[in-house]
Amino acid sequence: MNINTIGIIGGKGKMGRLFEPIFKRYAKKVLLSDMTSNEKIAKESDVLVFTVPIASTIEVIESLLPLIRKDQLLLDFTSIKEKPCEAMLKSSASVIGMHPMFGPSVQTLEGQTVVLCPVRPDEWLDWIVDLLRKEKATVIQTTPEKHDRMMAVVQCLVHFTSLLFSKTMKEEGINPEELFQYASPVYRMQLYIAGRIANQSAELYRDIQFQNPAFEKTLENMTESFETMKSTILKHDGDKFEETFKEIQDFLGPEILDEGQTMTNMFIKLMRSSC
């Protein structure tokens, strides 16, 4: 498939800048927009990519719908998929939801995972899959609904528990630097993860938490699990604790348990060597 122009709405942001040189290998021109040039780029592009803040995505997509042609492909890089895909489907164009599972700090797509939601792909699916595989990315195809359920855990729950961990430490009134002196290697890894998450954009992480429609149910499940574990601990119910521990081991399975031990041992050795 010969592509003349790929336009990136919000392309002057970090993700747009990351994908600009990649897309240039597969199209004659790559156009980057800001809010003043969205309409021009929407009219000129064969492939139109939306990479704007989550809270603005639907509004931006819908503002350009009158300009979208049937022969175009619409992609979005949003961390949620149901609502953006629904908005893009209001057009007559081909639609593929796309979620790069990495941030703009990566140098290449090699070894990175990209999730595709081909809701109305037409002839474009082979093109985007081929592009990503040539860049040595791992491609996963799913539905917008399943994507959002998975992200409710992979992103929302991970971010939530890390922020809750940091907030609890603050409420305990313990200095993080002093706490670090007492920390075991595994606890230090948890502190590093907490520091990494807290070092990101509050706006981005707020939108990931707020905009995913599947996260409400995940929060309810987490609250129920928390209350059950809290009760077990406060009652000193050793049998219940061991039963829960065994249930978790069975759920994760031997492969993840063994790999978790191996990988964290590697990280511990790496931390020792960097000290």
**Domain hosting residue 153, numbered range:** 146-235
Is residue 262, in this structure, part of any structural domain at all?
no
Is residue 109, in this structure, part of any structural domain at all?
yes
pLDDT value of position 250:
98
Residues 138 and 156 in one domain: no
DSSP state of 66: G
pLDDT value of position 90:
98
Is residue 268, in this structure, part of any structural domain at all?
no
Confidence class for position 230, pLDDT limits 50, 70, 90: very high
How high does pLDDT run on average in the chain? 95
Q: Output the domain CATH number for residue 35.
A: 3.40.50.720
Residues 110 and 211 in one domain: no
Is residue 265, in this structure, part of any structural domain at all?
no
Residues 124 and 68 in one domain: yes
Residues 129 and 210 in one domain: no
Is residue 249, in this structure, part of any structural domain at all?
no
Stretch 135-144: mean pLDDT = 98
Is residue 185, in this structure, part of any structural domain at all?
yes
Residues 32 and 113 in one domain: yes
**pLDDT tens digits along 99-131:** 999 999 998 999 999 999 999 999 999 999 999
Residues 55 and 125 in one domain: yes
Residues 6 or more apart whose Cβ sits within 8 Å of residue 96: 73, 74, 75, 116, 117, 118, 119, 120, 121, 124, 125, 128
Distance CA 79, CA 64 (A): 20
Q: Using an 8 Å Cβ cutoff, are 212 and 156 in contact?
A: yes
Residues 81 and 209 in one domain: no
Distance CA 27, CA 247 (A): 51
Burial class of residue 22 (count of CB atoms within 10 Å of its CB; 0-12, 13-18, 19+): middle
Is residue 22, in this structure, part of any structural domain at all?
yes
Question: Which residues lie across from 113 on neighbouring strands?
Answer: 138
Looking at 111, 142, 173, the residue that finishes a domain is 142
Residues 138 and 9 in one domain: yes
Residues 115 and 168 in one domain: no
Is residue 103, in this structure, part of any structural domain at all?
yes
Residues 131 and 166 in one domain: no
Residues 130 and 150 in one domain: no
Looking at 142, 161, 189, the residue that finishes a domain is 142
Residues 51 and 117 in one domain: yes
pLDDT value of position 1:
78
Q: Which tokens is 17 given?
A: 């800048």
Question: Which residues lie across from 94 on neighbouring strands?
Answer: 73
**pLDDT tens digits along 24-51:** 999 999 999 875 689 999 999 999 999 9
Stretch 200-210: mean pLDDT = 94
Domain count, the chain: 2
Taking the mean position of all CA atoms in its chain, how far away is CA 35?
24
Looking at 142, 163, 188, the residue that finishes a domain is 142
Distance CA 143, CA 147 (A): 6
pLDDT value of position 150:
98
